[in-house]
Amino acid sequence: MIRYWLVGPAAFALMTGVALAQITWGTTTSTQSTTTTAPVTGGYSESNTQSSIDSNGTQTDKNQTYKSGPNGTNATAITQTTSQDGSQKSTTREDQNISPTGATTTDKTTTTTKIR
């Protein structure tokens, strides 16, 4: 009789153990901050910063800045990614300028650094 009492809990433990082993735990932590300021008359400025860490431990920081005024418009986006162990860091910067006449220039730079 005791053998039957042990078989039931053992079978239950095997079934739930397999189910729990199939669960994937993935978390992302994210922080966001937005700042809007009123520059000179006829102008506008906004800044947005966001940080996140994915389930692999890779940290990503994003900073976006937008400025508009009588001299034209400038938008800048900087994304910096750092690996979990800190051995690799990648930075991408994109600048877009629009003059009052409508001429547009865009510059994009990516730098990857491996730290030993």
What digits encode the pLDDT tens for the residues 30-46? 566 665 555 556 788 89
At 8, the pLDDT band (50, 70, 90 cuts) reads low
Mean of the pLDDT values across residues 8-17?
53
Q: Is the pLDDT of residue 21 over 50?
A: no
Cβ-contact 32, 49 below 8 angstroms: yes
Token code pair at residue 46: 């906004």
Cβ-contact 70, 97 below 8 angstroms: no
Burial of residue 35 (CB within 10 Å: 0-12, 13-18, 19+) is: exposed
Query: In angstroms, rounded to a whole number, what is the distance separating the alpha carbons of residues 61 and 50?
Result: 6
Whether the model clears a pTM of 0.75, i.e. scores above it, the answer is no
* pLDDT in the model for residue 81: 93
Q: Using one digit for the tens of pLDDT, what is the confidence trace for 49-98?
A: 999 988 888 899 999 999 998 888 999 999 999 988 888 899 999 999 98
Percent composition of the chain: helix, strand, coil (DSSP 3-state, to 5): 15, 55, 30
H-helix or E-strand spanning residue 88 = strand 88-98
Phi, psi dihedral angles at 42 (to 5 degrees): 85, 10
Q: Give the C-alpha distances (Å, rounded to integers) separating 111 from 2, 80, 92, 93.
A: 67, 9, 6, 9
